[in-house]
Structure 1
Amino acid sequence: MRDEELGALFARAPFEQGGWDVALKALASATGSSRAQLIALGEGHTLFNWVTDVDEGYVEDFLEIGGHRPDVNYRVAAARGPFELAWEQHYDAICSAGPNEAYMEHVRRWDAQHGVQTALADEPRAFFGLAALHSASDGRTTEAQRATFGRVAPQVLAAIRTQRAIEHKGTELLLGSLDSLRTAAVLLDGTGRVRSVTPAAEGLLAPETLQVRRGMLHATRPDLDRRLQVAVGLALASRRAMPTELWLQSPQGPLLLEICALPRHEWNFGFAPSAIVTLKAPLGTAGDQGPRISAALELTRAEGEIVALLAQGHSRQEIARMRGVSAQTVASQLRTVFQKAGVNREAELVSIARGVIEMAAR
């Protein structure tokens, strides 16, 4: 395949279903390789690791041995500047000082001992690399294969930048949706760094509870911060759909954090939000909404506070914990509220309450 045709495949890759897989397989074929690899390494972990025609379990095996570390992976140790090639002679020089047996077993297991690679970009918090992986039967790379690989690499970087722009646009759309719903949320990318904070969440960040420091979300208390970082790490690594809950104590009362992975497309490069931290505040930190709702719907003060908490997104179980009562008590109070408000469903009640809050905020 000619260089122009390869370049065209990568240019289309961000826009087509399976486009990246098609383009990388074409690169593998053009360089006489069994597989091609596109990888990004972040601060202490792997952002993504795409390898063509590899059996299930490869990525898990790579992560288990710490394959992102230069003291483990001779390919990472051999990395040079952007678009500078490294190949078998560089791997040999590193391995001569004592190869890492875990990684050597890894490449033998997946039959990817040889090849050529280059850094596409070496950014402060991410390293992007491209590789053509040769199996034992492929043998070592030839000068012609390395030349083809080197000519195509800049076009791969151009496609990654296009992918990044697309994913950033998706971030803007998601942020706009959350903002319109007045959701207090912090969006994190594949490295765990803060991509966006909704205005509602900004109002809940405070020095004594939760802050964004150096681009990362941190709890002020060290023990809670450790739990927060573990929860974020689990969400990013396992794509956990079920949220992890973490409670913080603020001067205004308890603050609930829900850490949850966001759905990801197969060829997501980590630029788009990968996890969301939703902040749910007690009534006192969101304004004096309870009395307004009580007055508008002719409820008792306690009933108004419960409806206000529902309108903020809290579940019945959360409200019970926050108010120090049983879930059955909250359910009983809500049945009375339904009758007074003339509704049959919780969603109807929340809609009315949010309308009251919005009118009061004007």
Structure 2
Amino acid sequence: MGANVMENDKGHFVIGLHRSFKTGSFSDANISMFNLLTPHLKNTIEIQNRLHEHQQQCRAGYDAIDCLPFGIVFLDRNKRPIWHNRRAAEIISNGKSLNITSDKIYCEHAVESHKLSWLIDEALRQNQYQGGQMSLSSEAGNLTIFVVPLGLEHHQYSALADQAQAVIFLGDSISDSKVSTEILHMLYALTPAESRLVNGLCEGLTIKEMEKAFGLSGNTLRSQLKAIFRKTGTNRQAELVRRVMTGPAILLP
């Protein structure tokens, strides 16, 4: 006795029940019960497949967030951190005057910690709040903190909406301005020298400053810049920086 329970683009799911000759044939009651249970088995398999797809989507999403060059911390309705990406862990471990535990995220100094707590409270209220920003300074450098409501009330993944209510973005002004030379070459076929020039522009350097830093003449740098404009389809330095800093080239290796 058997049935083709499910058939889709991934294959077939077939179930079969067997008895020994000594046991004898299936009774009408056995067959009726099998026919009754088969649709439920199909529903169970469909639910399992959807859960698996959902898990894969979540895993892909977290992996993508881990590639971002800035820190991200998700908070629940009780201000507890429920997940943070790799960059956030690096920023916190590098001594940026910010700490994170299983219960809270806080600053080393009371005044700054109070302000961060207030920003989180405002984000959790979600009363048309667009987010708030603060900065921390330490020997390790400057850190920009931006807190915004997540707004997932109508998100298709209700489980995530039940947990994550606010998100904190952590930006390191120094490390976040660096661009992957390898990706620049892959995307735009830039030479190492051209990639170094793009890196300088993204870090806020002028052509004059790069003349001294790179030991090259202004004419050489301007010639490289023209080649970069041509390869990236841009016409101005500001446009070039915006394209690079908002595209995949900014992702960390």
TM-score under structure 1 normalisation? 0.37
Residues in 1 aligned to 2:78 and 2:248: alpha-carbon distance in whole angstroms: 39
The answer to whether residue 122 in structure 2 is matched with residue 225 in structure 1 is: no
Give the root-mean-square deviation of aligned CA atoms.
Answer: 4.1
User: Could you tell me how far 1:195 is from its partner in structure 2?
Assistant: 0.7
Match of 1:258 in 2: 146
Is contact 1:299–1:340 with CA below 8 Å preserved after alignment?
no
Residues in 2 aligned to 1:188 and 1:307: alpha-carbon distance in whole angstroms: 31
Out of 167, 177, 196, the position equivalent to 1:276 is 167
Is contact 1:239–1:261 with CA below 8 Å preserved after alignment?
no
SS in 1 for 2:63: helix
TM-aligned CA distance change 1:242 to 1:287, over 3 Å? closer
The answer to whether residue 194 in structure 2 is matched with residue 297 in structure 1 is: yes
Instruction: Please show how residues 163-242 of structure 1 align to structure 2 within 5 Å.
Output: 174-206=61-93, 207=95, 209-238=97-126, 240=128, 242=130
TM-aligned CA distance change 1:176 to 1:298, over 3 Å? closer
Deviations 1:206-229 (A, max 9, x none): 455111134211111111110100
* Structure 1: unaligned runs, 5 residues or longer: 1-164, 310-318, 320-335
Deviations 1:309-353 (A, max 9, x none): 8xxxxxxxxx9xxxxxxxxxxxxxxxx897452232445433474
Is contact 2:66–2:86 with CA below 8 Å preserved after alignment?
yes
SS in 2 for 1:176: helix
User: Could you tell me how far 1:180 is from its partner in structure 2?
Assistant: 3.5
Out of 241, 244, 248, the position equivalent to 1:349 is 244
Residues in 1 aligned to 2:78 and 2:105: alpha-carbon distance in whole angstroms: 12
User: Could you tell me how far 1:182 is from its partner in structure 2?
Assistant: 4.3
AA paired with 1:275?
Answer: A
AA paired with 1:349?
Answer: V
Residues in 1 aligned to 2:141 and 2:180: alpha-carbon distance in whole angstroms: 15
User: Could you tell me how far 1:202 is from its partner in structure 2?
Assistant: 0.4
* Structure 2: unaligned runs, 5 residues or longer: 1-50, 185-190, 206-221
Is contact 1:290–1:307 with CA below 8 Å preserved after alignment?
no
TM-aligned CA distance change 1:307 to 1:287, over 3 Å? closer
Residues in 2 aligned to 1:273 and 1:173: alpha-carbon distance in whole angstroms: 17
AA paired with 1:279?
Answer: L
Is contact 1:210–1:220 with CA below 8 Å preserved after alignment?
yes
AA paired with 2:137?
Answer: Q
TM-aligned CA distance change 1:246 to 1:219, over 3 Å? same
Match of 2:219 in 1: none
Residues in 1 aligned to 2:64 and 2:181: alpha-carbon distance in whole angstroms: 28
SS in 2 for 1:258: strand
User: Could you tell me how far 1:179 is from its partner in structure 2?
Assistant: 1.6
Match of 1:245 in 2: 133
User: Could you tell me how far 1:184 is from its partner in structure 2?
Assistant: 1.6
AA paired with 1:196?
Answer: W
TM-aligned CA distance change 1:240 to 1:224, over 3 Å? farther
User: Could you tell me how far 1:240 is from its partner in structure 2?
Assistant: 4.6
The answer to whether residue 195 in structure 2 is matched with residue 307 in structure 1 is: no
What is the total number of aligned residue pairs between the two structures? Answer: 164
AA paired with 1:354?
Answer: I
Residues in 2 aligned to 1:271 and 1:173: alpha-carbon distance in whole angstroms: 20
Residues in 1 aligned to 2:109 and 2:165: alpha-carbon distance in whole angstroms: 25
Residues in 1 aligned to 2:101 and 2:77: alpha-carbon distance in whole angstroms: 17
